[in-house]
Amino acid sequence: MPKTVYNTATTINGFLADENDSLSWLFEVNQKDDNDGFARFLAGIGAMCMGSTTYEWVLREEKLLEKPERWQEFYGERPTWVFTHRQLPAIPGADIRFASGDVGPVHDEMVAAAGERDVWIAGGGELVGQFADQGRLDELRFSVAPVTLTGGAPLLPRRLTASRLELVSVNRNGQFAELTYRVMNA
């Protein structure tokens, strides 16, 4: 059965990005050259979503407005919803759909578009929290980096206790600890 999955990298102390929304800390960490693992994950994804900060970071860092073909190289043809309250540029040739408000109806659209494959919530933490609040989050996958930050964007600014989380797997990828948890929804 298809799942809604939050798959991201985080620091040991639970930050996605630093105070300037930078991920420079992430690229300093050694990992196995395991693009096959990410490629296998992405092959199982039928639709994805992200918040506006994540989208703007990808636009800026990958220069996607100048080189829109890079979106297809990274994410293929899968539809992507971007949650925002602002007007943002669309990437030419990419199936980008802008949304705002309640994540529930949009999640229903994403699940329908994904078919038999999973839905990936790429970030950020507050957006993921909204899915968790509505019981629409099935799995957490964290690549924990040996880095600490003094502040920034939190991994998941919600209270999810052990009664709602079941550890499914623990793996190592270079310096990263990869943790997967099943989310129990009432």
pLDDT recorded at residue 101: 96
Identify the domain boundary among 117, 143, 158.
Answer: 117
C-beta of residue 51 within 8 angstroms of C-beta of residue 123: yes
Buried b (16+ CB within 10 A) or exposed e, 89-126: eebeebbbbbbeeebeebbeebbebbeebbbbbbbbbe
**Average pLDDT by stretches of 10, the chain with 186 residues:** 95 96 90 74 97 95 96 95 97 97 98 98 96 97 97 95 97 94 90
Looking at the domain assignment, is residue 29 inside a domain? Answer: no
Give the DSSP H or E segment for 108: helix 103-114
Looking at the domain assignment, is residue 74 inside a domain? Answer: yes
Q: How far is CA 176 from CA 9, 12, 44, 140, in A?
A: 9, 10, 22, 15
Tokens of 174: 């270079």
User: In degrees, to the nearest 5, what angle opens at C-alpha 167 toward C-alphas 161 and 171?
Assistant: 135
Looking at the domain assignment, is residue 178 inside a domain? Answer: yes
C-beta of residue 174 within 8 angstroms of C-beta of residue 32: yes
pLDDT recorded at residue 95: 97
pLDDT recorded at residue 184: 95
User: In degrees, to the nearest 5, what angle opens at C-alpha 139 toward C-alphas 74 and 96?
Assistant: 35
Q: Are residues 146 and 104 in the same domain?
A: no
Looking at the domain assignment, is residue 34 inside a domain? Answer: no
CATH number, domain of 111, equals 3.40.430.10
Looking at the domain assignment, is residue 35 inside a domain? Answer: no
Identify the domain boundary among 117, 139, 160.
Answer: 117
Phi/psi for 145 (5° steps) reads: -95, 145
Q: Are residues 66 and 101 in the same domain?
A: yes
Identify the domain boundary among 72, 89, 117.
Answer: 117
Q: Are residues 139 and 86 in the same domain?
A: no
Q: Are residues 69 and 103 in the same domain?
A: yes
Domain span at residue 131? 1-19+127-186
C-beta of residue 48 within 8 angstroms of C-beta of residue 127: no
pTM across the whole model = 0.94
pLDDT recorded at residue 186: 65
Q: Are residues 108 and 140 in the same domain?
A: no
pLDDT recorded at residue 35: 60
Among residues 144, 139, 124, 128, which one has the least CA distance to residue 180? 139
Q: Are residues 111 and 133 in the same domain?
A: no
Q: Are residues 98 and 131 in the same domain?
A: no
